[in-house]
Amino acid sequence: MFRLNLKIALRNLWRNKVITSINIGGLAIALAAFILVTMYFTYETGFDKENPNYNEIYIVGRQLPDFKTNYTPPPLGKAIKAEMPEVVAVGTMKMSFFEFPVSSDHGVVFLSKCLYLDYAAAKMFNIKPTVGLTKPESTTENLFYLSNENYKTLFPHNKNGQPEMIWLGSKSANMTGKLSGSIFADPHSNITFDAISLMKEVGIGENYGYNNYSTYIQVKPGTDIQELEAKINTLYKKEMLKNGEDPNNETFKATKAFLDPLKNQHLKPKAGTDANYKVLIALSVLGILILVIACINFTNLSIAQATKRAKEVGVKKVMGAYRFQLAFQFLTEILIQCLAATILGLIMAEIILPKFNNLFVVNLSIWVANSALFWQLPLILIFITLIAGIYPAMVLSGFKPALVLKGNFQTSKQSYWLRNSLLVVQFSVAVVFIIGLLIINSQLKYMRTQDIGFKPEQVVYIKNLAYFVSPSKFDPIRDKMVKIPGVKSVTVTNALPDGSDSGKNKYTVDGKEQSLSFTDVDFDYFETLDIKIKEGRTFSREFKTDTANSAILNEAAVAKYGLTSPIGKTIKGCQNKEYKIVGVIKDFKALGFEKAVQPTIYAINDPCGNPKTEIMLKIEESKMSEVLSTLKSQWPEINKLDGDNFRYQFLDEMYGKLFKKQEQLQSVFFAAAILTIFIAILGLFAFAKYITTGRMKEIAVRKILGASHLQIFKLINSSFFVMVLIANIISWPLAYILTKKWLETFAYRIDLPLFPFLISAVLTILLTIVTVSIQANSAVKANPVDALKYE
């Protein structure tokens, strides 16, 4: 019996090649997209899950009046370990993003993510060197390890990761060091690095004023986290008071410690952005919707073809077949189609995967031994078979033998309304994607064309090893670079305007204390970036006090203090250092468009600032290549510490990376819009073919009675036109809510335009009319005699 049913199934599929191809092709396209989304979702939600202590690790953060941060002082970890019995381990670490070269006789690598951590942190995160994890014997001992990838580059013949000697910086500087070995850097972890410096204890001698470390704790299973968080907050306040903090200070009162689980750190940390989480959710919803649309197509077309199987069902029921047997037969047919679609979808996913990896900067692979896809795919196959096939199977197996064998069969009103409803749902989803794509395009266009307040074009950032604390240290290097024809200006700073956070400190003006971002700069900083001055002046060599105690605020900082005449006022900062405000600059979007401009203070001399290492040059556009070539050849003379390691980046390219997430979303919506429209049009094409074929006799009679071609086209298109119009009306409110929510994630955004809503309606209606008219054309041109000769 099974063999007979299989033959019947294959014969029916072959007879309806067009419908079968549309079913399998549409489902395969949707499955390819869904497979990629499933792989990406599994990857993004799997960070650090290999850690045996995954559910017991938390990071200690601080909530301040204006922001949250995961950076804490190093003594806090010691205090938590000593006071909290439910905390079984405390690990402290600090990441350095300062790039420096390390070389051997075989090559050179540039390290930009060097992780300083203590032994407890290494154990907590299961970080193991190739030669085994060794605890440093003293607080002065420092074990330095390279990631396996970097180690192999420098020592390709050392397969065991043994200790080696290396050069730090330029070889000509002859600064050597001992490499303790290699270490595995898990790319699927929140703790990433290209080198680590392992110490017995991190942050020795630093007090509660050094808030630039990450403190992780491992708790006992079953610990009440809210209670522990309250205890840590009380302990933190007590330790701060011991350190000399004023208990009446408003900032101190508003500051509190919090705990954030390790599982939150990649996608939605309390302190940080949840952009990755939003993109993942958007991508997952799109993948599910595309698959749902394909299943709707499948269901619609299967119901539409029900009349062709009616007599077969009637005969089988007369011969004694039960309904569940017929339902099983039709589900088997659908399973065959779904299986073919799954295989085709896998092939498509494999072809698309390289571009997908490039877009999302991941390295996913379908054919990996431990891939979750091997158990997810059978579940997906069963799911789509049931979703796409259960209703058609019930409809087909439920025909009444007496009616269908008399030829009086017609599908029920319920099936009619279901088919039309599913078609409306398909186009509703497509309209949402079209509107979303157009609004994302408008926001990105706004971001690319809006005045950001500075000009990163023709500004080159040169990577450098030297620290420039004062202008006198930087002047000899500046003088050499300025002499190169084509160099317009040169400066150095501690932070680039590329979305980087330069840090915050407390500053007081007229007795009012506020947290401000601070950027340590040098002469010509504002001129190099073409930042406009609002009032006062920029730093100048003509004023000797500028290198000692002058400061410049931005408009946001002036507004935060409520100053009306800021020039000449005194602002007190770190270590009670007093600055005289000499200028106010116009706000510029150093952090991009998602975050508002931060209130910022700029100074040349900052006792609590970060080292100034970021060299920037403004170069004439016509002489860019010549200047860079000259700099490379002269760099060993200009900056001996770097020697022949001349590296640079263009600032406008670095700033453009701030748009990366939105560009990803744009690409996703573009693909989703194309796929949903394509699948919906495929379904509409097949559905229109079925409807038109079923009305051939009606069309023939109307032609005989004098109906024109235009009237018949109008007749066939009218019902589809109404359905697409209803789809637009349904989807507009949903699209409005979703796009409005998305735009609210930007501090600087467009007003929600009406144009995308109108475009989506016009586009979907035109596509519907064209698609249906193509199918109706053959019926309109047919000879009425051919349709009526057997009547």
User: Mind listing the pLDDT tens digit for each residue in 22-32?
Assistant: 778 888 888 88
Mean of the pLDDT values across residues 186-200? 90
Average pLDDT, the chain: 84
For residue 218, the surrounding DSSP H or E stretch is strand 214-219
Q: What angle do CA 577, 581, 585 make, to 5 degrees?
A: 130
Return d(Cα 662, Cα 497) in angstroms, integer.
19
Mean of the pLDDT values across residues 733-746? 89
Q: Which residue has the tokens 């014997």?
A: 137
Say if residue 694's pLDDT is above 80: no
Cβ distance 199 to 135 under 8 Å? no
Say if residue 369's pLDDT is above 70: no
Between 251 and 112, name the one with better pLDDT.
112
Residue 491 CB burial class (10 angstroms; 0-12, 13-18, ≥19): buried
Residue 744 CB burial class (10 angstroms; 0-12, 13-18, ≥19): exposed
pLDDT in tens, 516-535: 999 999 999 999 999 999 99
pLDDT band at 491 (very low <50, low <70, confident <90, very high): very high
Mean of the pLDDT values across residues 5-29? 74
Mean of the pLDDT values across residues 447-476? 88
Cβ distance 11 to 20 under 8 Å? no
Between 292 and 516, name the one with better pLDDT.
516
Please report the pLDDT score of residue 310 as a whole number.
Answer: 61
**AA identity, residue 232:** I
Say if residue 389's pLDDT is above 80: no
pLDDT band at 791 (very low <50, low <70, confident <90, very high): low
pLDDT band at 312 (very low <50, low <70, confident <90, very high): low
Domain ranges of the chain: 54-264, 275-339+379-447+660-788, 459-658
Pairing of strands 570-572, 504-509: antiparallel
For residue 407, give the DSSP letter.
Answer: T
* Rg, the chain, Cα only: 34
Please report the pLDDT score of residue 103 as a whole number.
Answer: 87
Q: In the chain, count H helices and then E strands.
A: 24, 24
pLDDT band at 144 (very low <50, low <70, confident <90, very high): very high
pLDDT band at 416 (very low <50, low <70, confident <90, very high): low
Residue 311 CB burial class (10 angstroms; 0-12, 13-18, ≥19): middle
Please report the pLDDT score of residue 391 as a whole number.
Answer: 67
Cβ distance 735 to 728 under 8 Å? no
Long-range contacts of 356-361 (CB under 8 A, 24+ apart): 356/36, 356/40, 359/664, 359/667, 360/40, 360/664
Mean of the pLDDT values across residues 718-729? 88
Say if residue 790's pLDDT is above 70: no
Please report the pLDDT score of residue 521 as a whole number.
Answer: 93
**AA identity, residue 650:** F
Say if residue 90's pLDDT is above 60: yes
User: b or e along 57-96 (b: 16 or more beta carbons within 10 Å of the residue's beta carbon)?
Assistant: bbbbbbbbeeeebbbbbbbbbebbbeebeebbbbbbbbbe
pLDDT in tens, 432-461: 989 988 998 999 999 989 999 999 999 999
Say if residue 485's pLDDT is above 90: yes
pLDDT in tens, 700-709: 787 787 778 7
Say if residue 271's pLDDT is above 80: yes
Torsion angles phi and psi, residue 193, rounded to 5: -165, 160
Length of the chain measured in residues: 791
pLDDT in tens, 203-253: 887 888 788 899 999 999 999 999 999 999 999 988 888 887 777 777 777
pLDDT in tens, 159-183: 777 888 888 877 777 778 888 888 9
Say if residue 775's pLDDT is above 80: no
Say if residue 752's pLDDT is above 70: yes
pLDDT band at 158 (very low <50, low <70, confident <90, very high): confident
Say if residue 303's pLDDT is above 70: no
**Torsion over CA: 630, 636, 637, 638 (sign):** positive
Torsion angles phi and psi, residue 492, rounded to 5: -140, 150
Who's near 286: CB < 8 A, 6+ residues apart? Answer: 33, 37, 433, 668, 669, 672
Cβ distance 567 to 584 under 8 Å? yes
Between 296 and 789, name the one with better pLDDT.
296
Mean of the pLDDT values across residues 8-13? 68
For residue 51, give the DSSP letter.
Answer: S
pLDDT band at 723 (very low <50, low <70, confident <90, very high): confident
Say if residue 9's pLDDT is above 80: no
Please report the pLDDT score of residue 193 as a whole number.
Answer: 92
Closest CA to 24 of 339, 289, 291: 339
**AA identity, residue 673:** A
Distance of CA 398 to the CA centre of its chain: 48
Beta bridge partner(s), residue 216: 59, 91
Between 488 and 511, name the one with better pLDDT.
488
Say if residue 734's pLDDT is above 60: yes
Say if residue 304's pLDDT is above 70: no
Say if residue 62's pLDDT is above 80: yes
Say if residue 101's pLDDT is above 90: no
Please report the pLDDT score of residue 141 as a whole number.
Answer: 84
Q: Which residue has the tokens 């116009």?
A: 586
Please report the pLDDT score of residue 378 as a whole number.
Answer: 85
Mean of the pLDDT values across residues 466-478? 84
Between 325 and 375, name the one with better pLDDT.
375
What share of the chain in percent tops pLDDT 70?
Answer: 89
Q: Residue 149 corresponds to which tokens in the numbers above?
A: 């990838």
Between 204 and 13, name the one with better pLDDT.
204
CA dihedral 761, 767, 769, 775 (to 10 degrees): -160
Please report the pLDDT score of residue 309 as a whole number.
Answer: 62
Between 71 and 275, name the one with better pLDDT.
71
pLDDT band at 197 (very low <50, low <70, confident <90, very high): very high
Torsion angles phi and psi, residue 137, rounded to 5: -75, -30
Return d(Cα 169, Cα 178) in angstroms, integer.
14
Return d(Cα 306, Cα 392) in angstroms, integer.
8
For residue 564, give the DSSP letter.
Answer: S
Please report the pLDDT score of residue 204 as a whole number.
Answer: 85
**AA identity, residue 596:** A
